[in-house]
Structure 1
């Protein structure tokens, strides 16, 4: 539609003619349509889809949890594990972490703790054993050690020791007999208790051969036994 104008002449108060312009209809400005680019649209849709897939994968990974067995009470080495010692928890478990699954809890109840179990920790399969810590052909000898007899090195299960017979005061030999090496019995630490309140006495369970067990027990009863740590290689 073309633009139209109407011209009229009017007179001013002083008689001078004036021109008045009246505007007619004006055509709207032409707006050119943007050129669509199918490649850009396709790329945008692909990025949106990829972002959504990434978020979905992340949510799945975060939400994937595994039910495992946990320790809820202190369990000493060699002690039989009961159902009350254990619990369950749902955690995001790293594949490198070895833990007993929740549905296998019954399989560990009744076994013995191969190491000391602490509350709040996950239970690993290697931390329990169905075997007794006292092997066939061995005997367990409990030995009470006074504070001055307890080694500064911590006594741990499996540590090899020597049980030494020390004659009571007044019974030591004289002359050549004093040069005789003391009797010893080889043993292995099965469990060591904490120091008893007040006395500081530590009780150590030592496994010995069935033949040496009664001998070591007699030394303990007479108060003539001392515990010595063996070398690291057991010699």
Structure 2
């Protein structure tokens, strides 16, 4: 008994051999799960960065009106309005400067230190007191390069003026056993080294009684300047 082959029936009149397979559905890929800890850390970093930028913008935007120095002012010189100006700056809290509102209050005071143009004026740089006090005299002392201390001479530095034998004159045996005569003093101002000679002139305040003696020692070339310890001892 012969076997008969069953043929597939045409679909919509199209023979089976002419039929085209339909599109293949791609396999589904499960989404990668994100860990909550990573997400929280990312959000925290973004928030911190935004806060830092905000603080920086606030600091840059916050400016303070302060008093500035517009020309050279020597130690002890009385300040005038022409010596000072105003500026708006982003001021660090650690920096102390005279506010523009207080400009009038510093006019008429004396410079306690040398002031340079372009610098901010600090409260400690001015004083209402004279650098030479009542009962004192100012003695200018010229120091040769080898006599100038390596330590900077600053206003207020306590010193001793020492009487020494003049050059070329030897001290006697009796004088050599005697401690040299000294005069206490205080630096009011020290100049810069003079071009060519290197001489530094130091203004020293002494008592009215000692001023003439110190001036005589200077004139005779018989004086040396010695720095005292910071506590004056």
Do Structure 1 and Structure 2 share a fold, with TM-score over 0.5? yes
1:208 to 192, 199, 206: 206
2:116 to 102, 115, 118: 118
1:223 to 214, 221, 224: 221
1:147 aligns with 2:145: yes
1:68 aligns with 2:66: yes
**Residue in structure 2 matched with residue 98 of structure 1 by the alignment:** 96
Runs (4+) off by over 6 Å: 54-61
Deviation at residue 199 of structure 1 after TM alignment: 1.2
Structure with higher Rg: it is 1
TM-score by length of 2: 0.69
Deviation at residue 176 of structure 1 after TM alignment: 2.3
Output aligned runs, 1:42-53, within 5 Å: none
Query: Aligned partners of 1:197 and 1:189: how far apart in 2?
Result: 22
Q: Secondary structure at the match of 2:101?
A: helix
**Residue in structure 2 matched with residue 187 of structure 1 by the alignment:** 185
- In structure 2, stretches of 5+ residues that fail to align are 1-50
CA contact (8 A) 1:172 1:178 kept: no
Q: 1:170 to 1:146 in 2, by over 3 A?
A: closer
Query: Aligned partners of 1:150 and 1:56: how far apart in 2?
Result: 53
Q: Secondary structure at the match of 1:194?
A: coil
TM-score by length of 1: 0.69
| Residues 120-156 of structure 1: CA deviation (Å, up to 9, x unaligned) | 2211222111101112211111101111111122111
1:77 aligns with 2:75: yes
Greater strand content: 1
Q: Which moved more, 1:91-100 or 1:210-219?
A: 91-100
Deviation at residue 58 of structure 1 after TM alignment: 8.7
Q: Which moved more, 1:110-119 or 1:139-148?
A: 110-119
Query: Aligned partners of 2:149 and 2:54: how far apart in 1?
Result: 58
| Residues 189-221 of structure 1: CA deviation (Å, up to 9, x unaligned) | 111000011111100011111111111011111
2:165 to 149, 167, 175: 167
Aligned length: 183
- In structure 1, stretches of 5+ residues that fail to align are 1-53
Query: Aligned partners of 1:193 and 1:80: how far apart in 2?
Result: 18
RMSD: 2.5
| Residues 91-128 of structure 1: CA deviation (Å, up to 9, x unaligned) | 23344433222232222122111123232221122211
Q: 1:216 to 1:63 in 2, by over 3 A?
A: same
